[in-house]
């Protein structure tokens, strides 16, 4: 572990911004939303204590982008290196999940891969726990575990910077004047902060301990009525899928431009009624409860079967963003209770 | 070859054949040679209008042109039906898996298809004909709503029926004055004695409800679920296992299918919906 210490964030961010465009979370109302870094210093730099409101996927998979053109074909343009500050462990884990889909060996999405390769990731420890954060239920931590170039941990008198990749090490080595050495006391303070946040996270989610692995619970609950009951609390706004950092469904559509034809790639949502409909009229997910069920099956069963990971990082954004009253933790907990009762009934039979 | 998987190859519609009132075959010449296996599908773009997945109906042996037989069923297919010769199109693919024809060697091949489901079956059929002596025989049970609704009438009603090693039976839901064949859904012309089920594979293609009942009937004959091959229709958009629309359980139909054995997918609900 290579760590250095810095008193203030601004010199660090200035050094990054000298090299490349830098985006960082800015407090907007109650939330943190990414905006372009302003080196003039007019806007004070803030350390985001919790994850930003919006998902990191929007920098890798834009809401809508050009995917192909005709008659002249489209090749992906080169992407200039850019940096993002303030990602949390949940964000890093969501990138890992997107990589599995869009950077796979068989079919690489070159638009995604170009952005991914040029993204300089500066993550940071969670200093507080968001109202709906539940990453601990899905293997997450309130501090980065891997997948960052630099990680920033807030301590009383400044920030501990850890390099997590060659790119990160190159950066700290290139800017020795910015940093001083860390001490054992500082690292101990960081660890204490981390444990404190972890404990708070666990307290907040104590009531959501599940009775079996989520895969088993969801897979064996396909006949449950809970999905239809939960559907009554859903207003079909699709916010959960848009704000989810791991949901990545999209569709392709064609448009006419002035002197060429364009194929666009745009975010889609499995909560949309026509999502899986075919021209012949068949639609396996006509009913909202079935769409909610499919979403959970995809996240906790199918994705795990295929890629060895849950497609949920426990960031809680879907709970924050829900315009109805669906809380994925509550749905899983209800399924878990029902599952436990069914298993008990089996034993007593 | 483009490194952009969303980029189609340009092509042109050089001929359009009316198969029935609602079905046309489009003969397309791509700008580059285009190879595919019977059963794989392509994404056909009508530039500026839209894109939809189709399984070609022509022989994979012809890499100069592709034939795609399309039923007017939705927005894109409706627009395609209005196209004239010379229309520019785009083709992406081929995607997914084809039928494992090599595994069929030495066996009876039982093709059960209905409606526009005969389109991909023609590609399979032509592939089998190239090496017909490799198989015990090719037994086809094909259905259409009315005699006029049959596609590929010229070859289907005449030349194909005379090929050694091929046996074809046809049925219609509703006869006209000239029809002297069977009347009823396709399962009514399927008989346990048609093939030796222990040494046969079944290839089923058609509307979901037809595939469902054909599958159940063949299981009743004693076919193993792993010897029943189904060509699944889902809302494939990207074709490369990313966009999410075509899932059956953990499978992406575009990447892991569209050809599945019944054994692979029988555990999942909604496969026929």
Closest CA to B96 of B125, B54, B159: B54
Task: Evaluate if residue A176 carries a pLDDT over 80.
Answer: yes
Query: B8 vs A276: CB contact, 8 Å cut-off?
Result: no
Q: What is the pLDDT of residue A1?
A: 62
The confidence band for A139, taking pLDDT boundaries of 50, 70 and 90, is very high
Phi, psi angles (nearest 5°) of residue A179: -115, 155
Q: Are residues A301 and A176 in the same domain?
A: no
Final residue in a domain of this structure, among A156, A173, A208 = A208
Q: What is the pLDDT of residues A296-307, one digit of tens each?
A: 999 999 999 999
Is B240 part of the contact surface with chain A (CB cutoff 8 Å)? yes
Q: What is the pLDDT of residue A349?
A: 65
Unique residue bearing structure tokens 């469904």: A249
Q: What is the pLDDT of residue B233?
A: 87
Give me the number of domains chain A comprises. Answer: 2
pLDDT, average across residues A6-35: 93
Final residue in a domain of this structure, among A166, A184, A208 = A208
Q: b or e along B206-236 (b: 16 or more beta carbons within 10 Å of the residue's beta carbon)?
A: bbbebbbbbbebbbebebbeebbbbbbbbbb
Closest CA to A130 of A64, A65, A49: A49
- Nearest CA to CA, how far is B15 from chain A (Å)? 21
Q: Are residues A9 and A145 in the same domain?
A: yes
Average pLDDT of the residues of chain A: 94
Q: Are residues A197 and A237 in the same domain?
A: no
pLDDT over 90, % of chain A: 88
Q: What is the pLDDT of residue A203?
A: 96
Cα A171 from Cα A173, distance rounded (Å): 5
Task: Evaluate if residue A38 carries a pLDDT over 90.
Answer: no
Alpha helices in chain B (DSSP H): 75-81, 118-129, 153-157, 208-221, 253-256, 262-265
Q: Are residues A220 and A192 in the same domain?
A: no
DSSP-derived secondary structure for A250-302: EEEEEEE-SSSEEEEEEE--TTSTTTT--TTS--TT-SHHHHHHHHHHIIIII
Q: What is the pLDDT of residue A211?
A: 87
Nearest CA in chain B to A280: B73
Q: Are residues A265 and A295 in the same domain?
A: yes
Q: What is the pLDDT of residue B1?
A: 58
Q: Are residues A223 and A203 in the same domain?
A: no
| Edge-to-edge order in the sheet of strand B50-54 | B50-54, B41-46, B88-95, B9-18, B23-30, B66-71
Q: Are residues A96 and A243 in the same domain?
A: no
Residues of A in contact with B5 (CB under 8 A): 107-110
In 10 A of CB A264, how many CB atoms?
Answer: 16
Is B2 part of the contact surface with chain A (CB cutoff 8 Å)? yes
Q: Which residues contact B115 (CB under 8 A, 6 or more apart)?
A: B71, B143, B144, B145, B149, B206, B207, B210
- The sign one gets for the Cα dihedral A60, A64, A66, A67 is positive
Query: B250 vs A268: CB contact, 8 Å cut-off?
Result: no
Q: Are residues A222 and A308 in the same domain?
A: yes
Q: What is the pLDDT of residues A71-125, one digit of tens each?
A: 999 999 999 999 999 999 999 999 999 999 999 988 999 999 999 999 999 999 9
Q: What is the pLDDT of residues A51-66, one digit of tens each?
A: 999 999 999 999 999 9
pLDDT, average across residues B23-43: 96
Phi, psi angles (nearest 5°) of residue B13: -80, 115
Cα A45 from Cα A55, distance rounded (Å): 20
Query: B5 vs A109: CB contact, 8 Å cut-off?
Result: yes
Q: Are residues A203 and A326 in the same domain?
A: no
Final residue in a domain of this structure, among A179, A208, A237 = A208
Could you tell me the end-to-end alpha-carbon distance of chain B, in angstroms, rounded to an integer? Answer: 37
pLDDT over 70, % of chain A: 99
Its domain, for residue A256, covers 214-348
Question: Which residue did the predictor score with more confidence, B36 or B271?
Answer: B36
Q: What is the pLDDT of residues B171-209, one digit of tens each?
A: 999 999 999 999 999 999 999 999 999 999 999 999 999
Q: What is the pLDDT of residues B224-265, one digit of tens each?
A: 999 999 999 899 999 999 999 999 988 999 999 999 999 999
Residues of B in contact with A306 (CB under 8 A): 250
Average pLDDT of the residues of chain B: 94
The confidence band for A49, taking pLDDT boundaries of 50, 70 and 90, is very high
Q: What is the pLDDT of residues B118-133, one digit of tens each?
A: 999 999 999 999 999 9
Task: Evaluate if residue A41 carries a pLDDT over 80.
Answer: no
Q: What is the pLDDT of residue B154?
A: 83
Q: Are residues A54 and A120 in the same domain?
A: yes
Q: What is the pLDDT of residues B149-158, one digit of tens each?
A: 999 988 887 7
Is A310 part of the contact surface with chain B (CB cutoff 8 Å)? no
Query: A68 vs B235: CB contact, 8 Å cut-off?
Result: no
DSSP-derived secondary structure for B187-218: GGG--GGGS-GGGEEEEEES-HHHHHHHHHHH
Give the domains, in start order, of chain B with CATH numbers: 9-95 (2.40.30.10), 101-231 (3.40.50.80)
pLDDT, average across residues A117-141: 96
Unique residue bearing structure tokens 């500050």: A85
Q: Are residues A13 and A88 in the same domain?
A: yes
Q: Are residues A109 and A7 in the same domain?
A: yes
């Amino acid at each position: 572990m290579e760590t250095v210490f810095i008193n203030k964030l601004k010199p660090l961010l200035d050094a990054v911004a000298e090299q490349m465009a830098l985006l960082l979370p800015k407090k907007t109302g109650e939330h943190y939303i990414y905006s372009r870094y302003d080196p003039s210093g007019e806007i004070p730099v803030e350390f985001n204590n919790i994850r930003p409101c919006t998902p990191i996927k929007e920098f890798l998979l834009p809401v809508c982008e050009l995917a192909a053109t005709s008659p002249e074909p489209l090749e992906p343009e080169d992407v200039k290196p850019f940096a993002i500050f303030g990602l949390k462990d949940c964000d890093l884990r969501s990138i890992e999940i997107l990589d599995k889909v869009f950077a796979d060996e068989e079919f690489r999405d070159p638009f995604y891969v170009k952005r991914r390769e040029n993204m300089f990731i500066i993550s940071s420890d969670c200093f507080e726990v968001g109202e709906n954060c539940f990453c601990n239920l899905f293997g997450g931590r309130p501090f980065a575990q891997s997948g960052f170039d630099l990680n920033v941990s807030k301590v009383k008198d400044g920030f501990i910077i850890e390099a997590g990749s060659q790119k990160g090490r190159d950066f700290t080595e290139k800017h020795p004047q910015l940093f001083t050495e860390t001490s054992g006391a500082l690292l101990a303070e960081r660890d204490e902060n981390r444990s404190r946040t972890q404990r708070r996270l666990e307290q907040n989610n104590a009531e959501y301990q599940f009775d079996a692995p989520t895969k088993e619970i969801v897979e064996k609950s396909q006949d449950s009525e809970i999905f239809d009951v939960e559907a009554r609390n859903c207003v079909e706004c699709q916010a959960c899928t848009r704000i989810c950092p791991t949901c990545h469904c999209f569709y392709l559509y064609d448009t006419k431009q002035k002197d060429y034809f364009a194929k666009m790639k745009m975010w889609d949502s499995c909560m949309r009624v026509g999502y899986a409909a075919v021209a012949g009229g068949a639609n396996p997910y006509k009913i909202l409860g079935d769409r909610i069920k499919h979403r959970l099956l995809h996240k906790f069963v199918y994705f795990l079967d295929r890629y060895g990971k849950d497609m949920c990082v426990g960031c809680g954004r879907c709970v924050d963003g829900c315009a109805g009253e669906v809380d994925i933790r509550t749905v899983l907990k209800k399924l878990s209770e029902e599952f436990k009762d069914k298993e008990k009934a089996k034993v007593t039979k | 070859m483009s490194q952009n998987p969303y980029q189609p190859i340009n092509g042109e519609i050089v001929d359009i054949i009316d198969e029935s009132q609602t079905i046309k075959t489009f003969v397309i010449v791509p700008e580059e040679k285009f190879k595919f296996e019977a059963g794989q599908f392509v994404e056909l773009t009508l530039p500026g209008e839209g894109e939809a997945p189709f399984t070609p109906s022509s022989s994979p042996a012809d890499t100069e042109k592709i034939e795609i037989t399309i039923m007017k069923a939705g927005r894109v297919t409706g627009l395609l039906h209005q196209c004239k010769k010379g229309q520019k199109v785009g083709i992406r693919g081929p995607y997914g898996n084809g039928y494992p024809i090599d595994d069929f060697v030495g066996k009876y091949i039982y093709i059960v298809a209905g409606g526009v489901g005969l389109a991909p079956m023609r590609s399979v059929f032509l592939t089998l004909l190239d090496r017909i002596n490799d198989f015990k025989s090719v037994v086809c049970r094909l259905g259409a709503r009315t005699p006029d609704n049959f596609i590929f009438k010229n070859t289907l009603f005449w030349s194909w029926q005379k090929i050694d090693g091929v046996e074809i039976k046809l049925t219609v839901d509703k006869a006209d004055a000239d029809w002297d064949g069977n009347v009823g859904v396709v399962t009514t012309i399927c008989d346990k004695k048609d093939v030796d089920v222990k040494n046969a594979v079944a290839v089923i293609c058609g509307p979901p409800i037809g595939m469902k009942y054909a599958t159940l009937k063949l299981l009743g004959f004693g076919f193993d679920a792993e010897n029943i091959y189904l060509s699944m229709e889902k809302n494939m958009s990207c074709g490369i296992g990313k966009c999410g629309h075509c899932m059956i359980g953990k499978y992406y139909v575009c990447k892991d299918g569209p050809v599945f054995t019944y054994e692979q997918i029988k555990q999942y609900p909604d496969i026929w919906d």
